[in-house]
Amino acid sequence: MEGHVERRKKGRPGYDLERLLLVAATTFTERGYDGTSMEDLARTLGITKSAIYHHVSGKDELLRLATDRALDGLTAAVGEAATVEGRAIDRLEYVVRRSVEVLVDELPFVTLLLRVRGNTPVERHAISRRREIDHAISALVAQAEAEGDVRPDVDPALTARLLFGMVNSLVEWYRPSRNGAGKAELADAICKIAFTGLRQV
Amino acid sequence: MEGHVERRKKGRPGYDLERLLLVAATTFTERGYDGTSMEDLARTLGITKSAIYHHVSGKDELLRLATDRALDGLTAAVGEAATVEGRAIDRLEYVVRRSVEVLVDELPFVTLLLRVRGNTPVERHAISRRREIDHAISALVAQAEAEGDVRPDVDPALTARLLFGMVNSLVEWYRPSRNGAGKAELADAICKIAFTGLRQV
């Protein structure tokens, strides 16, 4: 059973697990993890609880799979950036663009991830993976500053926080169906404002 | 009773109501409004439920007073900005600075406000007041663009969202006790990055 789940984790999960994860992520975000029962999920999905237990061992594993989905995407963005030749500021811009893509593609999962505050092992694990990503981005900003490409009058950690505060705000207002802006257009707008400012020069 | 509460609303509430609002805002944010009972609040405060009902008519009024605290501050920031002489971009920078101050001063209340999603009349009222503020800021960006001070290659509404996405991200990571940065320093950093970009020119 465990091995079955482990194997599934390698690639994209099957359709049923995919739909289960999507409903779990959305419901955890709306009602909170503690406020959501397996019964709630089964009712929303129109399936039995035992059909859910066919896929996962429990609510805990649903939270782990859902947050991992977001974290895997964001970690990959940081990892790919590290292979970009050239200056640190170019790697930083690469991370911003890829992160915007991940946020748009995995919106319900990133939204859930950004709300995780709790104290269960799964939540602590998610928070610690987020922290690794934050550190990597902060280090990129510091390197870009050392290379003379980022303004030296704002602390690199604060710059990284503000930059990703702007990026992450997407989950608050971006709705794929409503906003005309596509991923590339959004990434362009964010890079223009973050890197060169909103002031016309 | 009603009149009593109405009178209190004019100025800062007394110490007891102040503490009650702070605990209510923090608890609503942590456990959700639906997940918090008057019993929970009474227990946290170490007082009886009837002592709470001495101040407010119920949970609903606590939510209204707590979100109004944040909204009154942010609305005042927009209102003051309108009286700033000169160019729209200067009024926009004024709103950003004052909003950062309000976020830092009223952190638990703004944090709660930014999480409000629900469908009760109080929540809908809060969301509609937020929307008025967003529209005013969006109009300022559009005016600054018309005056040639804001880059014309990003939609003004998107620019306003990204700018305040950055500002509002404060509630996610700013902790008065931990971060060395004071209000003015934070406002400076945000204005530098938002208006002139993080790239060294």
Pairwise CB contact (< 8 Å): A193 & B165: no
User: What's the pLDDT at B1?
Assistant: 39
The pTM (predicted TM-score) of the whole model is 0.89
Look-up of token digits 């019993």: B39
Helical residues (DSSP H) of B54-120, grouped into ranges: 59-82, 88-105, 107-115
Q: Give residue B6's pLDDT band: very low, low, confident or very high (50, 70, 90).
A: very low
What is the residue range of A173's domain? 2-196
What tens digit of pLDDT does each residue of B142-177 get?
999 999 999 999 999 999 999 999 999 999 999 877
What tens digit of pLDDT does each residue of B94-142 get?
999 999 999 999 999 999 999 998 789 999 999 999 999 999 999 999 9
- A134 has a pLDDT exceeding 90: yes
User: What's the pLDDT at A25?
Assistant: 98
B142 is a domain residue: yes
From chain A, the residues in CB contact with B161 under 8 A are: 169, 173
Q: Give residue B19's pLDDT band: very low, low, confident or very high (50, 70, 90).
A: very high
A201 is a domain residue: no
Residue of B nearest to A179 (CA): B158
- 3-class DSSP state for residue A199? strand
CA A61 to CA A68: how far, in whole Å?
Answer: 10
**Distance from chain centroid for Cα A86:** 26
Pairwise CB contact (< 8 Å): B193 & A32: no
A147 is a domain residue: yes
Best B95, B161, B198, B201 member to test A by mutation, with max A CBs in 10 Å, is B198
Contacts of A141 (CB under 8 A, 6+ apart): A88, A92, A150, A156, A157, A159, A160, A163, B198
From chain B, the residues in CB contact with A151 under 8 A are: 192-193, 196-200
- 3-class DSSP state for residue B2? helix
Nearest CB to A196; choose among B35, B89, B197: B197
CA atoms within 13 A on the CB side of B58: 3
- B5 has a pLDDT exceeding 80: no
B94 is a domain residue: yes
User: What's the pLDDT at A31?
Assistant: 85
CA-to-CA dists, residue A160 to A52, A148, B141, B166, angstroms: 39, 16, 24, 11
**Closest listed residue to residue A70, CA positions, set A127, A108, A36, A28:** A108
Best A135, A149, A198 member to test B by mutation, with max B CBs in 10 Å, is A198
B201 is a domain residue: no
**Closest listed residue to residue A141, CA positions, set A130, A127, A151:** A151
Buried b (16+ CB within 10 A) or exposed e, A43-55: eebebeeeebeeb
Q: Give residue A10's pLDDT band: very low, low, confident or very high (50, 70, 90).
A: very low
CA B91 to CA B143: how far, in whole Å?
Answer: 10
B22 is a domain residue: yes
Whether the complex's predicted ipTM is more than 0.90 is answered with no
Cβ atoms of B143 and B160 within 8 Å: the answer is: no
User: What's the pLDDT at A87?
Assistant: 97
Look-up of token digits 């169906």: A177
Q: How many CB atoms lie within 10 A of CB B158?
A: 21
What tens digit of pLDDT does each residue of B45-89 get?
999 999 999 999 999 999 999 999 999 999 999 999 999 999 999
User: What's the pLDDT at B38?
Assistant: 96
B183 is a domain residue: yes
CA dihedral (A142, A192, A166, B63) positive or negative: positive
What tens digit of pLDDT does each residue of A135-171 get?
999 999 999 999 999 999 999 999 999 999 999 999 9
From chain A, the residues in CB contact with B173 under 8 A are: 161, 165
- A9 has a pLDDT exceeding 90: no
A81 is a domain residue: yes
CA-to-CA dists, residue B130 to A67, B29, B66, angstroms: 29, 17, 14
CA A159 to CA B193: how far, in whole Å?
Answer: 8
Q: Give residue B199's pLDDT band: very low, low, confident or very high (50, 70, 90).
A: very high
CA A30 to CA B71: how far, in whole Å?
Answer: 23
- CATH at residue B98: 1.10.357.10
- Reading the block at residue B89, the tokens are 């971009």
What tens digit of pLDDT does each residue of A81-132 get?
999 999 999 999 999 999 999 999 999 999 999 999 878 999 999 999 999 9
CA A116 to CA A130: how far, in whole Å?
Answer: 10
User: What's the pLDDT at A5?
Assistant: 44
Number of domains in chain A: 1
Cβ atoms of B144 and B65 within 8 Å: the answer is: no
In the chain, the amino acid numbered A118 is: G
- A62 has a pLDDT exceeding 60: yes
User: What's the pLDDT at B68?
Assistant: 98
User: What's the pLDDT at A85?
Assistant: 94
User: What's the pLDDT at A1?
Assistant: 39
Cβ atoms of A193 and B149 within 8 Å: the answer is: no
CA-to-CA dists, residue B159 to B93, B165, B166, angstroms: 13, 10, 11
What tens digit of pLDDT does each residue of A166-201 get?
999 999 999 887 656 689 999 999 999 999 999 988
Pairwise CB contact (< 8 Å): A173 & B165: yes
- 3-class DSSP state for residue A150? strand
Cβ atoms of A160 and A137 within 8 Å: the answer is: yes
